[in-house]
Every structure is written in structure tokens, then in C-alpha cells.
Amino acid sequence: MAAALFWVMPLEAWCAQHHDSSGAPIRVQMHNIRYHFTDAVAIQINDLDGSLVPSGGNPFPVFDDKNSFRLQVVAAQISITPQSLEQVLNSYVFARSDAPLKDINLAIDQDKLGGELRIRGKLHNKGDIPFEMEGRLTPTEDGRIRVHAENIKALHLPVKGLMDLFGVTVAAFVKTNKLQGISVDKDDLLLNPEQLLPPPHMKGRVTRIRLDAGGIALTLGNAAPQERILKTGNYMAYFGNRLRFGKLTMSDTDMILMDMDPSDPFDFDLDHYLSQLVAGYTKITPQFGLRVYMRDYNRVHGGAARKAPK
């Protein structure tokens, strides 16, 4: 019980500040999480403050149903590797057989001042002609990611602009809602992370972008993340309203999922969280809060589980 009290006492001020019994969304705080949307798509969440908002007509979030909630971000520092982003583009955005682009490959060119994103692929609507472009990333006023084309080639020959490269096909697909999360603005690609990433969807305005060896680092929201409710370790904390996972439904939720090995990011996979629960253990606080100590998914079963994307 002493261990439980150790975790509860630093939370009192935070819980009082965020407690709301009027049906408000569940408050969320995360620190140092490798969050998997699918086996091949993950983002690194350094810090995040926000809430779980029910969606799809559901009265409250259900961990076992990704479409039952979205993550509304107030402030966050996250990053995504080029490999994860290209998986999103190939497996979701351009997955249709009649999609205009195929076989997208992404890489970061750090030799350019400030870094550039290098995009290679095939123009499927033009006989799978190979193309490549280099672009600088900046946030738009409405919180999307603008990729401004600095250099464009098809068959290794210079091309004037994106519309010359793509023709009208991409614009036509966007107008008919056949492409989600991407649009063309003259010589710029506009990416909307909320629509690009698989569920559970993350909603928040991109306000800053930085490219480095680790990938595409994004700042979401204007406010700085709040003071961490736990001073050490990697965790995901949920407070207020109702939340269901498995057979358990919590009212006035008070739950923290904690990394049993804080030496590296907490590798969490919503599709397979049960195996992480089984490999760990739980404690109940004197206030009936739930503290869940979980193993990284990429270490479950002695590392037999699939490894996190590089």
C-alpha cells in the first residue's frame, strides 16, 4: 500500500484541477510513449496533454474499439519516422488500385539547411513513371503540414511544378474524397495528420515542425505541456468520466499505465494491449485508482512480438 500511496500523492493537485463529473471528456497526459496505430505505423509521443473524446455515437471511450474515441490534443511534442509516414501513404492514402501515386519512399536530407523531406515514388496514372521531389515542411495557419516542393523530377528530368507532374489526377481524387488527408496547393502538398493517421484519430493543430535524424518532429497546440503528474518514468494517465477496457468499466476514471522498464520509451500497442497487461501487474490506490505496470509490447514473450519500427 505504501507503494500505491507513493504514486497517488503527487496526483492530488492534478486530479483536483482536472476533475469534472458533468460528462466532460477524459483528461489524458502521456510521457515518452512509442504509440502504435498498427503493426507498421507508430509515433513517438514525448509529452502530451489532452483528452479522450467519444466518437461514432459512443457514450464513452472503449479501448477495444479504436473508432469509439479520438485524442483531442491541447499541447504535445511528437515525432514520426519517414518509414512510418511512408507506410501510412502506401497502406492508406494511396492504397486504392486506381490511386495516382504508388510505391512512396520517404527520407530526410539533413545536408540541406533546416532539412528537407525527399519523396520518391511512381506516377501510377502515367504508366508507373518514377518521380522524386524534395520539399521543406512548414505549418499552415489552420494547423496542417505544408510540403513546399523545392526540386521536382520525373524520369530524372526537371519538372516545372506539382501540377505538371501530377496533372489533374490528384486534384480530381481530392475533390471526390478518394484521397484522405492530402491535397495539392499549386506547388505544395498539404498533409493533415488527423486524417492521415489510422484510428484512434489524433486531433490537434500543428504549430511547429523540425526535421532531424529521428524523423519529423511536430509541436501540436500553442500551450506548453503541463507539469508532469509523475516526476519519473514513462506513462499514460487517464482521469474523469467513464472508460472501458476489456470487461472493466471505470466511472470517474483514475488510471495510469506505467512502463515497467523506464530506460527506453514505453512501447504501447492498442491492438495488443492485453498481452502487455498479462505480462505486468496492477495495484489499487486507497482512492480506488488503478495503477497498471506494463511491459513494452516489443519485449512481450521474450521479444517474440514484432519489433517497433526503426
Residues in the chain: 310
Mean pLDDT, residues 258-265: 95
Kindly state the percentage of the chain with pLDDT values over 90.
55
For residues 276 and 35, give the distance between their C-alpha atoms in angstroms, rounded to a whole number.
13
- Interval 92-143: pLDDT, tens: 888 888 788 899 999 998 776 568 999 999 888 778 888 888 899 999 999 9
- Interval 289-310: pLDDT, tens: 999 999 999 998 555 444 444 4
What's the burial of 144, exposed, middle or buried (CB within 10 Å: 0-12/13-18/19+)?
buried
- Interval 174-221: pLDDT, tens: 444 567 888 878 778 899 999 999 999 999 999 999 998 779 999 999
The secondary structure of 208-241, three-state, reads: EEEEECCEEEEEECCCCCCCCCCCCCCEEEEECC
pTM for the complete prediction? 0.84
Q: And the C-alpha cell for 12?
A: 492530488
Mean pLDDT, residues 27-53: 95
Mean pLDDT, residues 255-282: 95
For residue 130, the one-letter residue type is: P
- Would you say 43 and 79 are in contact if contact means Cβ atoms under 8 Å apart? yes
Residue 279 vs residues 3, 101, 301: alpha-carbon distances, Å = 20, 42, 8
Residue 72 has pLDDT above 80, yes or no: yes
Q: Report strand pairing: 254-259 vs 290-294.
A: parallel
Q: CB pairs under 8 A, 24+ apart, for 245-249?
A: 245/62, 245/63, 245/64, 245/273, 246/63, 246/64, 246/274, 246/277
What is the Cα gyration radius of the chain?
A: 21
Residue 1 has pLDDT above 70, yes or no: no
Q: What residues does each domain of the chain span?
A: 2-75+224-293, 82-199+207-213
Helix (H/G/I), strand (E/B), else coil: 21: coil
Residue 172 has pLDDT above 90, yes or no: no
Give the pLDDT of residue 23: 54
Give the pLDDT of residue 293: 97
Give the pLDDT of residue 87: 94
What does pLDDT average to over the chain? 83
Q: Nearest 5 degrees, angle CA 269-CA 271-CA 277?
A: 65
Residue 278 pLDDT class (50, 70, 90 cuts): very high
For residues 1 and 147, the model is more confident at: 147
Give the pLDDT of residue 107: 93
Give the pLDDT of residue 305: 43
Residue 5 vs residues 250, 277, 290: alpha-carbon distances, Å = 20, 21, 12
- What does the DSSP 8-state code read for residue 269? E
Give the pLDDT of residue 283: 96
For residues 141 and 289, give the distance between their C-alpha atoms in angstroms, rounded to a whole number.
40
